[in-house]
Structure 1
Amino acid sequence: MEEDLSDLLKIYGVGAAPSRRAVQPGSNGRPIQLVSNLYNVSVQAPTVYRYEVTIDRIGAKQMVGFKNARKNVTSVRLNQRAVTQFAREGYLGSCVPAYDGRSILYMMRPLPSPITSATVTVNLDDGTECDEFARKQQFEICLKEIGPLSLRTFNQEVVQALDIIVRTGPLIEPSIVPVGRSFFSRTMSNLGDASMRGCRELWFGYFCSIRPGQWKPMLNVNISATLFHEKLPLVDYVVKFLNKNTPDELKNGLKASEHEVLKRELQGVKIKVTHLPYQRRYTVAGISKKGAADYTFEVNGARVSVADYFENHYGIHLRYPALQCVETLTKDGNKNYIPMEVCETIEGQHAKIVNSDQTAVLIRKTAMTPKKRFESIDKFVKKVVNEDAAAHLREFGLQVDLKPVQVKARVLNSPTLEIGKQGTLKPRDGYWRMEGKQFFIGAELSCWGVADCHGSGRCAEFAKSLERLGRNLGMKIEPPAFVRNYQKVPAKKMLSEIKSQFPQIVMTLVIMGRDTEYEVIKQLSENDESLLQITQCIRGSNIESKKCNNNFITNVLMKMNAKLGGINNGLKEVPECMREPFIVFGADVSHPGPTNDIQPSIAAVVGSLDSTPSQYHTVTSFQRSSTCNRLEYIANLKVMIKDCLRAFYRRNRTKPMTLLFYRDGVSEGQFEAVRVFEILQIRMACKELQDDYEPPLTFIVVQKRHHVRFKPLNDADSRHENIPAGTVVEDTVTHPVNFDYFLCSHAGIQGTSKPAHYRVLHDDANRSADELQTISYSLCHVYGRCSRSVSIPAPVYYAHLAAARAKDHFKAANIHPSSTSDGSSGIESGSSLLQKEIGRDLDLHDLKRLSSNVDARMRDYLYYV
């Protein structure tokens, strides 16, 4: 199989990723000096010794119902405690180990034997771990020698080792809670204003990781923030989460809808009980259907209710006997039922975000000016070096320079944009105004109407303003064919009535109310041929608020124009390589949540159709692997690329002579697998269309999920303390071997700007650094939703939006057992048509059928913007 793959790679010209040394640094733009949040690391030790770690929790095989019970390796924190105890008992000699909490351990000196094993006992009485079955746990630990690792050669294995060395100290500190690659504690957070709706509180902490620089490893430290469950008596937690006023509202128990949403909220949450003289902790497995007074079990041959048992056995008279109980699991898999009023949630539990309100509050509260962020980062670096990781840095001979790395950068010139009436404009600080200007190509809107699902009295006035401003912007808009009230009318009935009475309907503006079925509207209007029409959904509260001004309406018109096939603005000047027929692709893979076993991953690919490039053909595809839903590469890419190339040919009557492919959604560990598979698929797609069709291809991964930040060294170079739009970094802090660069293409509105990280994985067009950086920056100026340059190229954004829309279609088809949530309370809203029971498992035929469900006439338009 490997030989077959090797032959295919040779046949289709898929070689190694471009080397940094093969590409001359860029020179366009004016110079600027920056400060980074990276710190040089000096490595004194020549070698470390690696060991493979296996940990068995003794007795775990008898535990039924918990995922960890079926695995040798338990939680990272518990593993760390076990290995720490292993070292305390002398099995590692005098060495201070660096351990990743899973399977790899490093030491400065080798052990006498290649295999070392022992059984240790960990005392859990201090409450740092929740365990239902014992306060003392035994672990069988085995270390197997892998071999020495030289730290003199700088590669990914060395970066991983250094990363584990730095991170081990915080991982074993009891007061610190690790979440992903970040560390949190209450002492790091200013909790005065931390409480949020939905029983969440905001904790601050720090991200900490080693990453390669051009000349040496660097410590990357950034401010992190995430949500944790509030520590509350469980009855108070339920009252707050369900938006009740007092606990007395729970006297009659939970309603069915409340039961479902509370069950989803509490499953997996750790609690402690207050009715015992000693500390006992549990993990919530569910919520009982019946209340404590109604649920009975057998005691000494007689049936007794949970409420009576607690009164007789513990002397506790329940205030809310009708309230449902917490379900937990015993060692043999049986259920325990515990009244909520004797339970409390435990501090330090990471919590999921349950609604968009929490997301908005999180963004607002975590937005820090660069000055404040970098001051806080400096404090955390000192904390890491002098406290949390100090012992391990000393043991392994690592020295961290406490002065942040300074970087030479450049600010690229903004591209000239084409607008209507043969006009041009030059963005300033990543922004331009549309007042007194027209769209480059204004779309025609002959038959349209307004469906008022909100009950607003301003719909007719809003429609007139829309019509007037649209004409000013160069659109050809007729007066609306209708403005009608559709409050409490099901989406399908509304769309059917509109299509029946107005067969030529092109677009319907849907003014959304609280219960408007957004996903259903999109799924029916974009997938159902009999209901086909473009929809523009607007929240009713927005057209009634003060922000419904000309700027707001202009933004709505920008979306409408893009959906209708118009072009808001194009690129006046394109690089030399874009003057022959070319196509730009954007691609993304969106994954379901880690606990979602039903919904597949969704891949989306968009391909440009015009030279501006502002118009795109879109293809989406559902996919899953044989073992899980998360398939990192795009399995159906060859078919999707062929579809885009055919659409390009239909529009232009010629094939593109060059291909530029931007890929989002790839983690660093997946680079090579994605590069090899997807480039091969693109090459095969071209050859299958025409045997001698071999256009040059540039394949770039765009990453936003990283923690590198910059600020200007000199205040005079900053705007709101941020780096200017167009700032590009390709020196010092970039990869020592591979061709990559950071580009901040947008102006920071709030907080600290985050640059995108571009990794060039393939380029047989041999483009220069200046060409690729200029193209990438220019493409950030043709995003149809706003008159600003955005943080990543427009086709990448479009692929992301297309994948999100495919997810809406999937939900609305009643296949995924998910539900929408009321933004204010976390309670399931009446608009949800989604199944509550477990959905059927989709086979490959189902996925292919759903992938192509968007009507063919929609796919050449940006129906998702």
Structure 2
Amino acid sequence: MEKVESEETSGVLPSPPPTLPSAVEPEQLIEPLKRVAISRPGFGKSGRPINLITNHFRVSVNVPDAVFFQYSVSIKSEDNHVVEGKGVGRKVMDRLYQIYYSEMEGKQFAYDGEKTMYTVGPLPQNKYEYTVVLDEVAVKRNGSPSLTESHGETGFKRAKRSFQSKTFNVEISFSAKIPIRPIVLALKGLEADKTGDALRVIDIILRQQAAKRGCLLVRQSFFHDDVRNFVDVGGGVTACRGFNSCFRTTQSGLSLNMDVSSTMILTPGPVLNFILANQNLKDASQIDWGRAKKMLKNLRVKARHNNMEFKITGMSEKACNQQYFPLKVRRDDGTEETVEITVYDYFVNKRKVELSSSAYMPCLDVGKSKRPNYLPLELCSLVSLQRYTKALSSLQRASLVEKSRQKPQERIRTVADAITKYRHDDDPMLKACGISIEKQLTAVNGRVLNAPTLKVGNSEDCIPRNGRWNFNQKKLFDPIKIEKWAVVNFSARCDTSYLCRELINCGRNKGIHIERPHSLIEEDPQCRRSNPVVRVEKMFELLRTKLPSEPDFLLCVLPERKNCDLYGPWKKKNLHEMGIFTQCISPTKINDQYLTNLLLKINSKLGGINSLLSVEKTLPLLKDIPTMILGMDVSHGSPGQSDMPSIAAVVGSRSWPLISRYRASVRTQSPKVEMIDSLFKLLPNGKDDGIIKELLVEFYESSRGRKPEQIIIFRDGVGESQFNQVLNIELEQIIKALELLGVTKLPKFTLIVAQKNHHTKLFQANDPNNVPPGTVVDTRIVHPRNYDFYMCAQNGMIVSFLIQSIGIK
């Protein structure tokens, strides 16, 4: 018979009853939930007042009864294929308006570049079918697989240009009405359907304005082709500065949120220069042409000899002066013959184009698979505003941060000048809605909260100043003892003996007892040229010979401070495969401040506590009611790594009534999926192998057998459109995990969403410095109904966190 332990002695949450009465469904065991966003209960009063301005521009809506009419758009080519390219679609719709202006009674429309267009008021008809012809310039080709010349009495002539016509069939049909009134109701704090739909339409109008100015569009941002906006970050990549603009309903009305934005583009200019920069070379003889071919494929270039644009499809197998192609030439008697000629000879002798550096390099192929068209490298330049979507290296990210930093007053001027320059409200459609935009930044009242006091060792207080706390002359609250540890050095220029002595001395001052390391292990010099994985494996072979047993902790000295290839393989070997805690360092100078920061990390990793909030054990809502705090987030693969699994991580508090100790649980899930799908995971044997069960059991065991009666969830990384998914997918999994553990009365839930990737920025009205840490704004620019606020929690770069609470009643 299976042994059953009581709740008081088992150390785990009680199991559910083995069977349920047939008349009772499992969901009837819990109280029904009403999952709604909390309305704002009031406004904060704590803290000293501060006058601020923000990059919101007040918008007036003077025609509240205006109605947008939505139409479905289908664009097909002559062979009945659907046209999906946004660039082609916009050209077709622009041409359609020019031709059929009168049939549409001159009514302007906003086109999203895909399958939808909007008008203010209806078109004369509900359905239209149009034929649109676009004329495009193309090089005339007479049967040659590459470039063709005609030879007459005057010798060789340049290839002629001809206009190639493309015909498109466009169908427009009415699909829905979107009134602008829901925006007006939302501004009054009233519930209204289709508020988001109306906002999306006027955002599309702004995007169409930018598209007509020739900007690169990236979601709600637009970027101009202006070298003054370019910042070179290395590797052939340039940061292009532009603007992000979107309409938002706020407590004080409708506003246009305008902010500086950046995207990565390939550095425009000569292709050869780009290849050298991309491969970090100075000499063209060292170019890896296989890598260059992969990098250049599908990029657009402009040829200097004819000023035309082409898309790169590949590269020639041979050098320019060895790559032959068949060329038709005309004899003096009028007959034609085909001769073999090199690309180099063709351009130099027949086109009279000077070539100097590309004779011994491959050519760019801008033709089709069975009809190549070769161009010498030095004649081609990369077209501007081509996005770079791969992940930046550590050096590129550091360069981007350093070169694109703006002072607050400079950012204010940039945004204000943009509002004045672009005059968004001059758009005919916005005028038809009675929308006008003020040109002044919005003034708001903020509050600066006092920094929370920390409790450190010897019952001393530590008060953070300017967003920072200093542990100099302080002991840690609960320091650990380090006994079995070692130092490994991957060929870094570091005196590890001196480092260990200073670390032990600093640890003694902080209350950490550190034994002398068992070994100081230097990497074999012969391994330095091996790949990172091999170097890590060799180091572990060396460790096994030096150490009698597995250490509790390893201090690893890396040779490079940034972008070290050893970091990933070393962490994977230690944490994933061996279960050994490790701390990686690459010190430039060893002093007390550096060692103190290092010990704070080490103490936390090994289970110690650096500090507690002084109010941690006295907050009534937390100390009187068993409370569990969860932090949840999902990280995705870098851009361009579409097959990289996403990583879901959840931390749960333990040792109630403390709120400073946590256990982490990590799972992989499908790429690019934001909702966590492993909070509850039912196995075939009926058991739960999900994250929440693991954290609940840890809470129960570390809190003297108490079960959480309220759960506070901090969720990062979700937008407003995903709030309902969090409530209905993730919260539902948490409830199922609780049910399976035998909980019949659910705890109270509070879900708090933290958004840091927004575009609201706060500035001091009469001060050139950043806003002080602790600045909070909960009026005017916040949501008209939901309980949210902006908070700058740190010093330095301006980072405003938008906090939104979703309560479960």
What TM-score, normalized by structure 2, do the two folds share? Answer: 0.81
Contact 1:36 1:407 in 2 (8 A): yes
* Aligned twin of 1:615: 661
* Aligned twin of 1:522: 571
* Aligned twin of 2:793: 745
**Aligned-partner SS, 1:20:** coil
Distance 2:28 2:228 in 1: 51
* Aligned twin of 2:158: none
Aligned match for 2:300, one of 256, 270, 286: 270
Moved more, 110-119 or 197-206: 197-206
* Aligned twin of 2:132: 120
Question: Which one has a larger percent helix, Structure 1 or Structure 2?
Answer: 1
1:49 aligns with 2:49: no
Contact 1:182 1:207 in 2 (8 A): yes
* Aligned twin of 2:641: 596
Distance 1:533 1:335 in 2: 56
| CA deviation after TM superposition for structure 1 residue 731, in Å | 1.6
**Aligned-partner SS, 1:692:** coil
* Aligned twin of 2:392: 354
* Aligned twin of 2:104: 92
* Aligned twin of 1:195: 232
Contact 2:457 2:474 in 1 (8 A): yes
Aligned match for 1:147, one of 168, 176, 183: 176
* Residues 323 and 500 of structure 1: CA distance in aligned 2, closer, same or farther (over 3 Å): same
Distance 2:315 2:483 in 1: 54
1:630 aligns with 2:672: yes
**Aligned-partner SS, 1:421:** helix
1:673-822 → structure 2 map (5 Å cutoff): 673-715=725-767, 721-747=769-795, 749-750=796-797, 753-764=798-809
Look up the equivalent residue of 2:91 and give its one-letter code.
R
1:48-87 → structure 2 map (5 Å cutoff): 48-58=67-77, 72-75=83-86, 77-87=87-97
Look up the equivalent residue of 1:602 and give its one-letter code.
I
Moved more, 222-231 or 631-640: 222-231
* Residues 566 and 303 of structure 1: CA distance in aligned 2, closer, same or farther (over 3 Å): farther
Aligned match for 2:702, one of 638, 651, 656: 651
1:2-401 → structure 2 map (5 Å cutoff): 13-21=32-40, 23-45=41-63, 46-58=65-77, 72-75=83-86, 77-89=87-99, 90=101, 91-123=103-135, 137-154=166-183, 155-174=195-214, 176-187=215-226, 189=228, 194-247=231-284, 249-250=285-286, 254-255=287-288, 259-260=290-291, 262-263=292-293, 265-275=295-305, 277=306, 279-282=308-311, 284-286=312-314, 291-292=319-320, 314=351, 319-328=357-366, 330=368, 338-352=375-389, 354-385=392-423, 390-401=427-438
| CA deviation after TM superposition for structure 1 residue 186, in Å | 4.0
* Residues 17 and 315 of structure 1: CA distance in aligned 2, closer, same or farther (over 3 Å): same
Distance 2:701 2:340 in 1: 76
| CA deviation after TM superposition for structure 1 residue 744, in Å | 1.5
1:508 aligns with 2:554: yes
* Aligned twin of 2:594: 552
Look up the equivalent residue of 2:584 and give its one-letter code.
C
Contact 2:61 2:434 in 1 (8 A): yes
* Residues 457 and 417 of structure 1: CA distance in aligned 2, closer, same or farther (over 3 Å): closer
* Residues 287 and 692 of structure 1: CA distance in aligned 2, closer, same or farther (over 3 Å): farther
Identity of aligned residues (%): 26
Distance 2:728 2:95 in 1: 44
Distance 1:9 1:723 in 2: 51
* Aligned twin of 2:19: none
1:582 aligns with 2:627: yes
Alpha-carbon displacement from aligned partner over 1:657-684 (angstroms, at most 9, x marks no partner): 3211111111232222232111111111
Distance 1:190 1:72 in 2: 32
Contact 1:632 1:670 in 2 (8 A): no
Look up the equivalent residue of 2:176 and give its one-letter code.
G
Contact 2:137 2:163 in 1 (8 A): no
* Residues 761 and 291 of structure 1: CA distance in aligned 2, closer, same or farther (over 3 Å): farther
**Aligned-partner SS, 2:458:** coil
1:491 aligns with 2:536: yes
Look up the equivalent residue of 2:697 and give its one-letter code.
R
Distance 1:553 1:658 in 2: 39
**Aligned-partner SS, 1:377:** helix
1:562 aligns with 2:562: no
| CA deviation after TM superposition for structure 1 residue 210, in Å | 0.5
| CA deviation after TM superposition for structure 1 residue 328, in Å | 4.6
Distance 2:640 2:68 in 1: 36
Q: Number of residues paired by the alignment? A: 712
| CA deviation after TM superposition for structure 1 residue 335, in Å | 6.1
Structure exhibiting the larger radius of gyration computed from Cα positions:
2
**Aligned-partner SS, 2:537:** helix
Look up the equivalent residue of 1:740 and give its one-letter code.
D
Alpha-carbon displacement from aligned partner over 1:450-492 (angstroms, at most 9, x marks no partner): 1111341422212222221122112111112222211536102
Distance 1:49 1:557 in 2: 61
* Residues 397 and 137 of structure 1: CA distance in aligned 2, closer, same or farther (over 3 Å): farther
* Residues 137 and 757 of structure 1: CA distance in aligned 2, closer, same or farther (over 3 Å): farther
| CA deviation after TM superposition for structure 1 residue 12, in Å | 6.5
* Aligned twin of 2:155: none
Look up the equivalent residue of 2:580 and give its one-letter code.
Q
* Residues 148 and 469 of structure 1: CA distance in aligned 2, closer, same or farther (over 3 Å): same
**Aligned-partner SS, 1:604:** strand
* Aligned twin of 2:719: 667
**Aligned-partner SS, 1:637:** coil
* Residues 364 and 701 of structure 1: CA distance in aligned 2, closer, same or farther (over 3 Å): same
**Aligned-partner SS, 2:181:** coil
| CA deviation after TM superposition for structure 1 residue 185, in Å | 1.6
Look up the equivalent residue of 2:621 and give its one-letter code.
C
* Residues 298 and 746 of structure 1: CA distance in aligned 2, closer, same or farther (over 3 Å): same
| CA deviation after TM superposition for structure 1 residue 221, in Å | 0.5
Look up the equivalent residue of 2:786 and give its one-letter code.
N
* Residues 26 and 50 of structure 1: CA distance in aligned 2, closer, same or farther (over 3 Å): same
* Aligned twin of 2:21: none
Look up the equivalent residue of 1:701 and give its one-letter code.
V
| CA deviation after TM superposition for structure 1 residue 691, in Å | 3.2
Show structure 2 runs of 5+ residues with no match: 1-25, 140-160, 184-194, 329-337, 529-534, 681-689
* Aligned twin of 1:814: none
Distance 1:729 1:232 in 2: 45
Contact 1:510 1:536 in 2 (8 A): yes
Show structure 1 runs of 5+ residues with no match: 1-6, 63-70, 765-865
| CA deviation after TM superposition for structure 1 residue 636, in Å | 0.9
Distance 2:746 2:322 in 1: 73
* Residues 497 and 678 of structure 1: CA distance in aligned 2, closer, same or farther (over 3 Å): same
Look up the equivalent residue of 1:439 and give its one-letter code.
L
| CA deviation after TM superposition for structure 1 residue 152, in Å | 1.6
Contact 1:167 1:209 in 2 (8 A): no
Distance 1:335 1:759 in 2: 56
